[in-house]
Amino acid sequence: MAHKTSSHTGDLPPTEPSFDAAGKVVAVLIGVVSVAAGIVVGLNNPFLSRAASSEGAAIDALFSLMLGIATTIFIIVQGFLLYAIVRFGGATGEEGDGPPIRGNARLEVLWTAIPAIIVVFIAIFSYRVLADIERPKGDELVVEVTARQYAWEFYYPEHDLKSPDLHIPLDRQVLLKLRSADVIHAFWVPEFRIKKDAMPDRVTEMRITGTQVGVYPIVCTELCGAGHAIMRAQLIVQPAAEYEAWVASTLAAKGRMATAGDPLAYGRQLFVIYGCNACHVLTDAGAAGVLGPSLNGIGSRAETTVAGQSAEVYIRKAIVQPNEYLVPNYQPIMPQDYGQRMSEAELNALITYLLSQK
Ligand code: CUA
């Protein structure tokens, strides 16, 4: 390596860089390996779970293509970098300048044109995927989604039905109309690959089509306050007949409770529908939230919490004006609008239910 350490090339005229025979072999090798790796990684995208919606499948195809292209480019760049280090690296102690190299016009045209073509291609592909997943395909089921600190509520206008979880029939397009009752939230179902903000001042829309029967987590993906991390619900994709049965049984249960009056069961249902379960512990309702005080035994405690005030009045105030009697060590984060959101009958049923929790 004596010729390298002694080389002093500052006075030589600039030269065009070029590949010798060994360099050409390495270049072809890097090219073949990078394209093969790009195809393998693109076709077997190792980063994604299986998509459970038709929109997700279209998005995954785009993402896998981009991942394949990125893998190819990554290996080309790293391959030539490695080759350059091994082949042209200076010996230990060598601190002189390398030979001056002028640009290579052919190479520069190539590395400008190829990325430009790739970017335009991906832009067209992305546009087509976006247009496809946003296109109404007829006979869509409309569901109004309301986000609030810290729960989701799903309303089916077609059936005048409210649910804390989102049930949808298999293979049918669903139009979600999202809005927020307070701050900005965002609706995300990882297996569906879709994400959309729920805003307080407008309705945002999104279409989803479940293609795999199953239960999937709905996640709030916009930091919305202390309970952001627990703001979750479930998306249940069911065969059409099962979905219809769910609608029928939920409507029947609602009718039965509202009219025949099983106030405790009704109250327990309201406790979940209005999202109380997201922040409070109440074993009877299967609730395990930790942001608010536990409500186990609230019926007994409420009798003595405020001297001279009945348990019923105390619980009513604690729901309608929650900041009035803030339990020590808890933040004033409970929504202030339950008085407006619940009907008087619903409020009474919920109070009756909580009073029964001795
Ligand atoms: Cu709602 Cu984060």
What is the pLDDT, as a whole number, of residue 137? Answer: 87
- Residue 216 Cα to ligand 1 middle (Å): 17
Single-letter code of the amino acid located at 104: N
- The per-residue pLDDT for range 19-75, each reduced to its tens digit, is 688 888 988 999 999 999 999 988 888 788 888 999 999 999 999 999 999 999 999
Structure token pair of residue 213 = 């029967």
Say what percent of the chain tops pLDDT 70: 93
Q: Which of 144, 159, 120 is nearest to 250 (CA)?
A: 159
Mean pLDDT, range 139-162, rounded to an integer:
92
Torsion region of 321: left, alpha or beta (phi above 0 gives left; psi -120 to 50 gives alpha): beta
Who wins on pLDDT, 169 or 278? Answer: 169
Q: Could you tell me the pLDDT band of residue 208, with boundaries at 50, 70 and 90?
A: very high
Exposed / middle / buried, residue 305 (Cβ in 10 Å: 0-12, 13-18, 19+): middle
CA distances from 150 to 44, 178, 279, 324 (A): 37, 15, 8, 20
- Residue 316 Cα to ligand 1 middle (Å): 27
**Phi, psi dihedrals of residue 101, rounded to the nearest 5°:** -125, 125
Q: Is the CB of 287 under 6 A from ligand 1?
A: no
- Residue 270 Cα to ligand 1 middle (Å): 21
Q: Is the CB of 185 under 6 A from ligand 1?
A: yes
Decide if pLDDT at 2 tops 50. no
Decide if pLDDT at 345 tops 70. yes
Decide if pLDDT at 150 tops 60. yes
Q: Is the CB of 222 under 6 A from ligand 1?
A: yes
What is the pLDDT, as a whole number, of residue 134? Answer: 92
Is residue 67 within 8 Å of 40, Cβ to Cβ? no
**Phi, psi dihedrals of residue 21, rounded to the nearest 5°:** -60, -45
Taking CB atoms within 8 Å and a gap of at least 24, the contacts of 28-33 are: 30/75, 30/76, 30/79, 30/80, 30/83, 31/76, 33/75, 33/79
- Residue 149 Cα to ligand 1 middle (Å): 7
Mean pLDDT, range 14-23, rounded to an integer:
70
- The per-residue pLDDT for range 301-324, each reduced to its tens digit, is 888 888 888 888 889 988 988 888
Is residue 336 within 8 Å of 321, Cβ to Cβ? yes
Mean pLDDT, range 6-16, rounded to an integer:
52
- Residue 221 Cα to ligand 1 middle (Å): 6
Q: Could you tell me the pLDDT band of residue 258, with boundaries at 50, 70 and 90?
A: low
What is the pLDDT, as a whole number, of residue 277? Answer: 84
What is the pLDDT, as a whole number, of residue 128? Answer: 95
Q: Is the CB of 231 under 6 A from ligand 1?
A: yes
- The per-residue pLDDT for range 225-256, each reduced to its tens digit, is 888 998 999 999 999 999 999 998 888 877 66
Q: What is the mean pLDDT of the chain?
A: 87
What is the pLDDT, as a whole number, of residue 256? Answer: 60
Q: Is the CB of 220 under 6 A from ligand 1?
A: yes
Q: Whose CA is nearest to atom 1 of ligand 1?
A: 185
Q: Is the CB of 148 under 6 A from ligand 1?
A: no
Decide if pLDDT at 1 tops 80. no
Q: Is the CB of 224 under 6 A from ligand 1?
A: yes
